[in-house]
């Protein structure tokens, strides 16, 4: 590491890693292991992200790959990476010398300077609106799992798990093992299509075994697992008192006469994931629409984004799960370390990582093909079904913005009818609004459509006072979190 | 799309608020109208504005006369469209003077404005805090402008276009102009577009309402007008109860609006909206079409807003947006027929007042095209004035 006289030692890192989930941890450990001055910045109180979310003192009984997590956590301190929990990053600024990461900690401004940034900000549950989805007691599948893993609290007593994708299985299995009654797992897709990709399957036998393990758990607890079926309405006002379940056709339209009521007090829903791409968008990185319909950052073979000095790893460059994220993180860490310090990585290590990344990516692509989200879900909605819960914008209002006011893209609809204008800034309703507008205008959603709902110069709310205060010019930059 | 009866009388290039107001006024005057827009309606500077309809920020002169006419026209238009649908609100403007010197300057300004017909009330600190209870106690005085109003610019644009369509206008979005069509004598008779569906649109007159991109379009027509971008930001807070009642700004803002300095100027404008959010503008930066976010600008805006309303220090900032105001070197818009290219008219260069001045702009051009005597003399806004200046 070279330090010019103008820089006080410690005031500027080689690499700032944003996010301490599988990708970010692997990136920070790899970079620090190469001798790069590394800081790991995370919003959570403990490392691990959503995947390894745990309680204080929890040593991993409920977790997959806990040994991997412990190795990474040890590596973090062994290699002397700085770790900054509780930091909400709201903006990353490109400067002449590199990047300035702007965050708040407990509301106070914190800035970190680095020559390169690795964005490992992960993803959150993708939600689709349906009648009653704003009723208290309807959760995202991820929130239900976070409550269980992070706080040991089951979200309800009789839980229906619905949506699509392999993530529904660990959520349901975790609940069942915690003694919660899971009234059913309703998979909207028909994942047998997965068998058509034998190569991806063979390379990823351990992952399939993991899925089979979850299915075994569900069987043991007599939890019904239904495909081509989902929750299309939740009932109740103050709280969920039941739900309507329906069978779906190939395009996810309700099969006439197939609806039935189920008794439950909680619904956990997830239709895949939405990557957190605020930072790459702020930095002007090239983006693309991935096979699962999400907006993600484009990266090259070294996990580099289109902007110099920016690396992206994990879900923000394509949803693919924890193992792929960790591989991408490690690659990003090694390459960023080489670019900033000249410390060359072991070539065999690189080759191995590239092989694993190729295998994991083909598996992820096969999963995306096996669990598509066709737009028939739009037929579940009533005119008065809320799409944007922050601003209480209905499906009817979105339709009117297109039909009556002539809006041709989601951004115009946002400016006419306000979906995505509220506290969550379109994180929840952005995908659904984009799909609704695209279909109403007779086309498929594009990357530009998604970008119109995903661009957020302020990635996390902060007070005007904190903004006005500017950089924290104190010594915190050199501190160890 | 074809025009079976005959070609349109007027082709408007640009479906921002100015183009939409032209379409509205021309169809109201009985003209047949077509609109081409390269992106989405209102997708340019209109989508990045606050919707100001101000008379307070203009010094006595032709722009103030235009603003007064526009303020009357907007009242009529919003009644026609339904004030609620475009969120028309005559909320009134409050200008705050932070020093005795600024207050004296403000007194001179309001006197001149009153002479031109502006309702401007000089107020002391007591009246100021009655109008705006949360405003800084440091203020030494100010002025109250009951005529200042606003609309939601995107809704206004959409509803102006909707009414124009009801009166027969045809709007082609996603259709960019790539060249002009001229007859043997050199008069403009239409445009060529990048759309295979409407490769050529012919018309008796073409109006350049291309906003910040109007300079580029005017060069295509061989009749250049110097319209340049001036970048500005708006900060949006979390929703609050209605604590900021008017459009409130510092008297220093008045100096910046008319300034020609390069680089950055900020002087804050703070207002509450119906949605409960507080909007904070307005910076002016000459950095071309660079869409990058400059944190020092956002910081300055936040600090100035807190200076005006100290309670804002603890209020959450949710988002920010930016846009490019179309300005001319003399800070006056370009409105009227271009003698250098017969058949071509301009309606552009409104800087930060495009929404406010749109209604009068459309009205005056419709009057001109139907042979009526315009309510205002268009000479100060003539398109070829810049050539005289450099000659």
Checking if the pLDDT of B258 tops 60, the result is: no
Domain range for A47: 12-124+274-345
pLDDT of res. A203: 57
| Interface contact A391, partner B, CB < 8 A | yes
For A391, name the nearest residue in chain B, comparing CA atoms only: B275
Q: Is residue A176 part of a domain?
A: yes
| Rounded Cα distance, A276 and A456, in Å | 11
CB pairs under 8 A between A and B: 102
What pLDDT shows up at residue B383?
Answer: 97
d(CA A18, CA B208): 47
- The closest CB to that of B320, out of A406, A423, A457, belongs to A457
Which one of B44, B175, B295 would you mutate to disrupt binding with A, by most A Cβ within 10 Å of its Cβ? B295
Q: Say if CB B366 and CB B31 are below 8 A apart.
A: yes
Cα A330-A336-A342 angle, rounded to 5 deg: 120
Q: State the CATH number of the domain containing residue A385.
A: 1.10.10.1100
Residue A201 pLDDT > 70:
no
Residue of A nearest to B156 (CA): A416
CATH 3.50.50.60, chain B: domain bounds: 10-50+153-227+330-390
A283 in a structural domain: yes
- Rounded to whole angstroms, the Cα distance separating A152 from A154 reads 7
For B293-339, how does the pLDDT look when each residue is reduced to its tens digit (9 = 90+)?
889 889 999 999 999 999 999 999 999 999 999 999 999 999 999 99
CB contact under 8 A, B40 and A423: no
pLDDT of residue B265: 61
Contact check, Cβ <8 Å, A464/B317: yes
Contact B326, B302 (CB under 8 A): no
Encoded tokens for B273: 């909206």
A308 lies in the same domain as A433: no
Helix (H, G, I), strand (E, B) or coil at B337: strand
Chain A residue numbers touching B154 (CB-CB < 8 A) = 412, 415-416
- The predicted structure's pLDDT at residue B194: 96
How many Å apart are CA A393 and CA A370, to the nearest integer?
32
Partner residues linked to B373 by β-bridges: none
State whether residue A405 sits within 8 Å of chain B by CB: yes
Task: Identify the CATH class of B10-50+153-227+330-390.
Answer: alpha beta
B133: left (phi over 0), alpha (psi -120 to 50) or beta: alpha
Q: Mutual orientation of helices A141-151 and A168-177 as an angle, nearest 10°?
A: 40
Among the ranges given (A25-39, A447-461, B48-62, B285-299), the one the predictor scored with the smallest mean pLDDT: B285-299
Beta strands in A35-154 (DSSP E): 38-41, 82-84, 87-95, 98-105, 108-119, 123-125, 138-140
Residue A142 Cα, gap to closest chain B Cα (Å): 24
Question: pLDDT above 90 covers what percent of chain A?
Answer: 81
pLDDT at B16 exceeding the cut of 70? yes
Q: Looking at the structure, tell me whether residues A35 and A102 fall in a common domain.
A: yes
**Minimal CA separation from B58 to chain A, in Å:** 28
Does B302 touch chain A if contact means CB atoms closer than 8 Å?
Answer: yes
Rg (CA), chain A: 22
CB atoms within 10 A of CB A250: 11
CA-based nearest residue in chain B for residue A401: B158
Q: Residue A457 in contact with residue B319, Cβ under 8 Å?
A: yes
Q: A392 at the B interface (CB within 8 A)?
A: no
Q: How confident is the model at residue A209 (pLDDT cuts 50, 70, 90)?
A: low
Q: Which helix (H) or strand (E) holds A260?
A: strand A260-262
By C-alpha distance, which of A308, A314, A323 is closest to A277? Answer: A314
Judge whether residue A236 has pLDDT over 60: yes
Q: Tell whether A459 is covered by a domain.
A: no
| Residue B115 pLDDT grade (very low, low, confident, very high; cuts 50, 70, 90) | very high
Spatial separation of the C-alpha atoms in residues B265 and B242, rounded to whole Å = 28
Residues of B with Cβ-Cβ distance to A422 under 8 angstroms: 239, 318
pLDDT-derived band of residue A204, with 50, 70 and 90 as boundaries? Answer: low
Task: Quote the CA–CA distance of A364 and A321 in Å, as a whole number.
Answer: 8
Tell me the chain B residues in contact with residue A416 when contact means C-beta distances shorter than 8 Å. Answer: 154-155, 158
Q: How far apart are CA A283 and CA A441, in angstroms?
A: 30
Residue A126, pLDDT above cutoff 70: yes
Average pLDDT over residues A161-185: 95
Closest CA of chain B from A157, distance in Å: 35
Tokens in use for B55?
A: 């008379």
In chain B, whose CA is at the least distance from the CA of A466? B313
The Cα–Cα gap between B112 and A75 comes to 72
Q: Count how many Cα atoms sit within 13 Å of the Cα of residue B362 in the half-sphere of its side chain.
A: 34
> Residues 172..211 of B with a Cβ closer than 8 Å to A: which?
173-174
* Per-residue pLDDT reduced to its tens digit, B151-183: 999 999 999 999 999 999 999 999 999 999 999
Least confident of A258-267, A278-287, A390-399, B379-388: B379-388
Phi-psi bin for B349: left (phi > 0), alpha (psi -120 to 50), beta? left
CATH 3.50.50.60, domain B91-146+228-327, yes or no? no
Q: B309 to chain A nearest CA, in Å?
A: 11
Q: Do A205 and A236 fall into the same domain?
A: yes
Query: For position A345, what pLDDT does the model report?
Result: 96
Chain B residues within 8 A of A406 when measuring between CB atoms: 41, 158, 161-162, 165, 171, 173
pLDDT band at A149 (very low <50, low <70, confident <90, very high): confident
A108: which chain B residues are within 8 Å (Cβ-Cβ)? none
pLDDT of residue A363 exceeding 70, the answer is: yes
Q: Which pTM value belongs to this model?
A: 0.90
**Closest by Cβ to A467, choosing from B162, B291, B302:** B302
Together in a domain, A243 and A214 = yes
User: For residue A5, is pLDDT > 50?
Assistant: no
Using one digit for the tens of pLDDT, what is the confidence trace for A427-453?
999 999 999 999 999 999 999 999 999
A240: CB partners within 8 A, 6+ apart: A132, A135, A136, A137, A138, A156, A234, A264, A265, A266, A267
Distance of residue B87 Cα from the nearest chain A Cα, in angstroms: 11
Q: In the 8-state DSSP scheme, what is residue A86? A: T
* pLDDT given at position B285: 74
- Burial letters for B104-140: b for 16+ Cβ neighbours within 10 Å, e otherwise? ebbeebbeebeebebbbeebebeebeebbeebbeebb
Max mean pLDDT range (A454-463, B98-107, B277-286):
A454-463
Together in a domain, A285 and A260: no
User: A 82-101 residues with CB below 8 A of B?
Assistant: 91, 93-94
Residues A212 and A338 in one domain: no
> Which of B64, B73, B149 lies closest to B333 in space, CA to CA?
B64
Least-confidence region, from B5-14, B138-147, B374-383: B5-14
Determine contact, residues B248/B135, Cβ cutoff 8 Å: yes
Q: Which range, A98-102, B48-52, B249-253, has the best average confidence (pLDDT)?
A: A98-102
Using a CB-CB cut-off of 8 Å, the residues of chain B touching A421 are 275
Cβ within 8 Å, pair B173-A408: yes
Q: Is the pLDDT of residue B208 over 60?
A: yes
Interface test with A, best of B134, B304, B315, B317 (most A CBs within 10 A): B317
CB atoms < 10 A from the CB of B289, how many? 10
The residue among B23, B43, B296, B309 with the most chain A CBs within 10 A of its CB, best to mutate, is B43
Please report the pLDDT score of residue B267 as a whole number. 72
Q: Are residues A138 and A228 in the same domain?
A: yes
- How many CB atoms are located within 10 Å of the residue A304 CB? 21
Residue B2: pLDDT band (50, 70, 90) is very low
Indicate if A287 and A320 belong to the same structural domain: yes
- In this predicted structure, the answer to whether residue B1 has a pLDDT above a threshold of 90 is no
CB A201 within 8 A of CB A214: no
Q: Which among B237, B293, B305 has CB closest to A282? A: B293
- CATH number of residue A312's parent domain: 3.50.50.60
> What is the mean predicted confidence (pLDDT) over B196-204?
95
> Residue A469, class by beta-carbon neighbours within 10 Å (0-12 exposed, 13-18 middle, 19+ buried)?
middle
pLDDT, mean of residues A59-86:
88
Closest-CA residue of B relative to A452 is B43
Q: Is the pLDDT of residue B112 over 70?
A: yes
Please state the domain count of chain A: 3
pLDDT at position A1 is: 37
CB-based contact A458 B174, cutoff 8 Å: no
Strands B33-36 and B10-13: parallel
DSSP-based three-state secondary structure for B252: helix
Rounded alpha-carbon distances, angstroms, from residue A272 to A8, A161, A269, B163, B266: 45, 13, 9, 42, 44
Which residues, including other chains, have CB under 8 Å from residue B75's CB and lie 6 or more apart?
Answer: B88, B90, B149
Q: Is A411 on the interface with B (CB under 8 A)?
A: yes
Question: How much is the pLDDT for A479?
Answer: 35
Tell me: do A175 and A258 sit in the same domain.
Answer: yes
Chain A: closest CA distance from residue B15 (Å):
12
CATH 3.30.9.10-classified regions of chain B: 91-146+228-327
> Considering only CB atoms, which chain B residues are within 8 Å of A440?
none
| pLDDT for A317 beyond 80 | yes
Question: Do both A391 and A332 map to the same domain?
Answer: no
Using a CB–CB cutoff of 8 Å, tell me whether A282 touches chain B. Answer: yes
Q: Do B317 and A462 touch (CB under 8 A)?
A: yes
Q: Which of B368, B372, B363 is nearest to B205 (CA)?
A: B368
Closest chain B residue to A470, measured at CA: B299
Residues in a beta bridge with A260:
A245
Partners of B42 on chain A (C-beta within 8 Å) are 412, 415
- Is A467 touching B (CB cutoff 8 A)? yes
Structure tokens at B32: 């047949």
* Beta pairing partners, A246: A230
Which of A324-328, A394-398, B87-91 has the lowest average pLDDT? B87-91
Contact B193, B175 (CB under 8 A): yes
pLDDT (0 to 100) of residue B252: 74
A22 shares its domain with A95: yes
Cα distance from B321 to chain A (closest Cα, Å)? 8
Task: Report the mean per-residue pLDDT for chain A.
Answer: 91
Measure in Å the smallest separation between the Cα of B239 and chain A Cα atoms.
8
Q: Are residues A89 and A144 in the same domain?
A: no
Q: Show the tokens assigned to A373.
A: 């989200």
Q: How large is the average pLDDT for residues A450-479?
A: 79
- Residue that finishes a domain, picked among A266, A282, A304: A266
Q: How high is the ipTM of this complex? A: 0.90
Between A27-41, A57-71, B16-30, the lowest mean confidence (pLDDT) is in: A57-71
> Which of B49, B298, B312 should we substitute to test contact with A (largest number of A Cβ atoms within 10 Å)?
B298
């Amino acid at each position: 590491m070279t330090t010019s006289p103008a820089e006080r030692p410690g005031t500027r890192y080689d690499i700032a890693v944003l996010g301490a989930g599988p990708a970010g941890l692997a990136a920070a450990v790899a970079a620090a292991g190469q001798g790069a001055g590394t800081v790991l910045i995370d919003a959570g109180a403990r490392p691990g992200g959503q995947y390894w979310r745990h309680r204080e003192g929890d040593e991993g009984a409920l977790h997959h790959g806990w040994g991997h997590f412990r190795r990474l956590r040890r590596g973090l301190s062994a290699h002397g990476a700085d770790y900054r929990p509780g930091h909400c990053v709201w903006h990353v600024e490109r400067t002449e010398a590199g990047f300035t990461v702007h965050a708040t900690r407990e509301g106070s401004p914190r800035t970190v300077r680095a020559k390169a940034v690795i964005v490992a900000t992960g993803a959150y549950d993708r939600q689709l609106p349906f009648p009653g989805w704003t009723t208290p007691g309807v959760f995202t599948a991820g929130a239900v799992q976070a409550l269980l893993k992070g706080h040991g609290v089951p979200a309800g007593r009789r839980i229906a798990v619905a949506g699509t994708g392999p993530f529904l299985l660990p959520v349901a299995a975790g609940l069942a093992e915690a003694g919660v009654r899971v009234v059913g797992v309703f998979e909207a897709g028909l994942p047998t299509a997965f068998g058509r990709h034998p190569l991806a399957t063979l390379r990823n036998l351990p992952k399939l075994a993991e899925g089979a393990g979850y299915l075994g758990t569900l069987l043991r607890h007599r939890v019904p697992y239904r495909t081509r079926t989902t929750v299309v309405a939740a009932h109740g006002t103050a709280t969920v008192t039941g739900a309507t379940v329906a069978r779906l056709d190939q395009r996810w339209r309700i099969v006439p006469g197939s609806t039935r009521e189920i008794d439950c007090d909680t619904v956990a829903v997830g239709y895949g994931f939405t990557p957190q791409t605020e930072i790459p968008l702020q930095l002007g990185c090239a983006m693309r629409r991935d096979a699962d319909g999400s907006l993600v950052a484009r990266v090259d073979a070294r996990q580099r984004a289109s902007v110099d000095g920016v690396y992206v790893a994990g879900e923000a460059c394509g949803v693919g799960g924890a193992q792929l994220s960790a591989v991408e993180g490690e690659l990003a860490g090694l390459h960023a370390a080489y670019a900033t310090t000249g410390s060359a990585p072991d070539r065999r290590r690189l080759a191995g990582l590239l092989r694993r990344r190729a295998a994991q990516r083909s598996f992820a692509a096969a999963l995306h093909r096996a669990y598509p989200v066709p737009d028939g879900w739009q037929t579940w909605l009533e005119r008065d079904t809320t799409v944007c819960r922050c601003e209480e914008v209905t499906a009817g209002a979105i339709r009117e913005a297109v039909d009556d006011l002539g809006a041709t893209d989601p951004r115009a609809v946002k400016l006419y009818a306000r979906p995505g204008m509220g506290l969550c800034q379109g994180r929840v309703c952005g995908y659904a609004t984009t799909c609704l507008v695209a279909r109403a205008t007779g086309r498929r959603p594009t990357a530009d459509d998604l970008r119109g709902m995903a661009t957020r110069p302020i990635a996390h709310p902060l007070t005007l006072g904190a903004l006005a205060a500017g950089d924290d010019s104190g010594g915190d930059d050199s501190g160890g979190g | 799309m074809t025009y079976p009866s005959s070609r349109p009388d007027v082709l408007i290039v640009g479906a921002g608020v100015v183009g939409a107001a032209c379409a509205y006024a021309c169809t109201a005057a009985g003209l047949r109208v077509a609109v081409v827009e390269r992106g989405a309606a209102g997708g340019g500077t209109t989508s990045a504005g606050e919707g100001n309809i101000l008379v307070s920020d203009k010094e006595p002169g032709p722009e103030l006369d235009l603003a007064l006419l526009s303020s009357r026209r907007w009242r009529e238009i919003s009644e026609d469209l339904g004030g609620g649908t475009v969120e028309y609100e005559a909320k009134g403007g409050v200008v705050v003077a932070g020093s005795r010197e600024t207050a004296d300057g403000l007194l001179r300004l309001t006197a001149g404005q009153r002479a031109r017909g502006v309702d401007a009330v000089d107020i002391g600190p007591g009246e100021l805090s009655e109008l705006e209870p949360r405003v800084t106690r440091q203020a030494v005085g100010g002025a109250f402008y009951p005529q200042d109003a606003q609309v939601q610019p995107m809704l206004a644009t959409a509803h102006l276009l909707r009414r124009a369509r009801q009166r027969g206008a045809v709007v082609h979005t996603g259709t960019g102009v790539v060249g002009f069509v001229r007859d043997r004598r050199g008069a403009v008779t239409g445009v060529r577009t990048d759309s295979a569906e409407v490769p050529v649109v012919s018309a008796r007159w073409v109006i350049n309402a291309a906003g910040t991109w109007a300079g580029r379009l005017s060069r295509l027509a061989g009749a250049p007008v110097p319209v340049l971008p001036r970048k500005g930001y708006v900060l949006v807070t979390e929703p609050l109860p209605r604590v900021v009642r008017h459009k409130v700004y510092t008297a220093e803002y008045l100096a910046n609006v008319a300034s020609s300095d390069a680089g950055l100027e900020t002087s804050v404008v703070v207002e509450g909206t119906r949605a409960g959010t507080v909007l904070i503008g307005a910076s002016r930066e000459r950095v071309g079409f660079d869409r990058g976010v400059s944190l020092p600008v956002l910081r300055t805006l936040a600090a100035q807003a807190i200076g005006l309303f100290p309670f804002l220090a603890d209020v959450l900032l949710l988002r920010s947006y930016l846009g490019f105001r179309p300005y001319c070197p003399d800070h006056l818009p370009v409105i009227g027929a271009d003698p250098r290219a017969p058949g071509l008219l301009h309606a552009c260069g409104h800087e930060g007042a495009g929404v406010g001045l749109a209604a009068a702009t459309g009205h005056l051009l419709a009057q001109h095209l139907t042979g009526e005597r315009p309510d205002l003399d268009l000479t100060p806004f003539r398109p070829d004035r810049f050539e005289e200046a450099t000659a």
